[in-house]
Amino acid sequence: MSADRAPYDLVVIGSGPGGYVAAVRAAQLGLRTAIVEKDPKFGGTCLHRGCIPTKALLHVSALYSEIKRAGELGIVVPKAEIDIAQVMKRKDAVVERLARAVEGLLKRRKVELFAGTGSLADPRTVAVRGAKGETARLAAKTVMLATGSAPRALPGIPLDGERIVTSDEILKVSRIPASLLVIGAGAVGVEFASVFAAFGTKVTLVEMLATALPFEDEEVGRELARALKKRGIDVRTSTRVDKVDGDKKGLRATLVSEGAKPETLAVEMILVAVGRRPVSEGLGLEKTRVALEKGYVKVDERCRTAEPSVVAIGDLIQTPRGAHPQLAHVASHEGIRVVEALAGRAAEPVNYERVPSATYSDPEVASVGITEAEARKRGHDVLVGKFPFLANSKASILGDTDGFVKIVSEKKYDEVLGVHIVGPRATEMIAEGVALLGLEATALEVERAVHPHPTLSEAMMEAAEAVYGHAIHG
């Protein structure tokens, strides 16, 4: 690496979906850009240890579940089995292809790539240390921190990477465990619970709060728990894991539920899925005015830190609103908005209330906007329309009728405030909800928009009709 380089307009530390997207957009806008990545390959956690490999496994588990009930459709299939080695090989191949694509994309846009650990030597200089100890100093007008997050540990439950694992290690299993305890029923927990239950593992899913996916609409969480139980998952809400011990024969977890005596559960493997922590250590922030709170980098509504030359995006940050959605698509859009502002273009901050969430469990869950409870808390005269997939023709054709579409509206202007879906292909359907909120659509406009038949999307139309009590098939 050379230490003698002209200043960059932007140096990005971290090549995840926030960092690499920001770097590409910056290059498109004519900014001289460099990106620094400490991992052997570009793409970040989402690509290598998160979104992509997890969804590759979920695709296999969903297909396997469908094959197992092919007889109901009149298709005779010899006994299907999971070859976990091949499943993992294909998952890795998908990741590898996309990693090459990300690196190729950056190179085509003339973004300069630096492999190594990046940190701030001062507010306008990034020091890069390579794997062999070689170093470079990159002068920059602006430095973007996009280092993302990592799985949180749980006090009192030591991780060993083999039997007590996080989402990082469980993506590398070489055999399917006979039993699995999943601690945490957030998106990561319910997704892995769905995968391994489909593969034949006896899964227990524990959540300390009252519902699965506790930050989704309460009705959605209850419906998801019901559907997961139907698929053979033992769902325990309002339950915590008090302690874990074990020996060569296996692990024992003590579960404590409200109003019940402690219970000991014997399992082969435990997945700790209690959220993610920001990766802010080792960035040299002490040499700047960048402020931290509980490890998160504090930013304003435009992702600017207290240091004028340093911006930050993605899972790493805390906004003035507090909680910040740790989602790949949020990081990408923050990165785009920030570099457009750096290039002198008008760029509105991300409206986090119009950011969709998507959980790829079985059944899927997706939402955008505010929940019914939040709408009431804000003083709206709330109207709710809900339509079950059980009454939807396409869901019946698919043989996947669990769940519903729920539209939260308000009486004064009829504006749609939130869309909440649990059921088949919810993560694809929510795009319509995103458009509705972006256009400030009314329930009446959704109802009068002609939806094709037979499709799952008709459930959106009928949920809008249900706001005023006249869904045709409800």
- Classified as helix, coil or strand, 174 is coil
CA distances from 304 to 164, 337, 470 (A): 38, 11, 48
Choosing from 324, 420, 451, 453, which is the catalytic residue? 453
With CA atoms as reference, report the closest residue to 431 among 379, 376, 366, 370: 366
Tokens 């209330």, residue?
353
For β-strands 234-236 and 202-206, DSSP reports them as parallel
Q: Is 80 left (phi over 0), alpha (psi -120 to 50) or beta?
A: beta
Strand partners, 257: 239
Angstrom distance (rounded) from CA 129 to CA 121: 11
CB 299 within 8 Å of CB 317: yes
- Amino acid letter, 465: E
DSSP per residue, 290-343? --EETTEEE--TTSB-SSTTEEE-GGGEEBTTB-----HHHHHHHHHHHHHHHT
473 is catalytic: no
Query: Any idea what the Cα angle at residue 263 is, between residues 258 and 266, rounded to 5°?
Result: 140
CA distances from 457 to 134, 411, 438, 447 (A): 55, 24, 18, 12
Go through 209-225 and write b for each residue having 16 or more CB atoms within 10 A of its CB, e for each that does not.
bebbbeebbebbbbbbb
With CA atoms as reference, report the closest residue to 322 among 292, 298, 355: 298
CA distances from 405 to 153, 382, 401, 460 (A): 34, 16, 12, 6
- Amino acid letter, 49: R
CB 288 within 8 Å of CB 268: no
Angstrom distance (rounded) from CA 91 to CA 200: 19
Which residues are known to be catalytic? 453
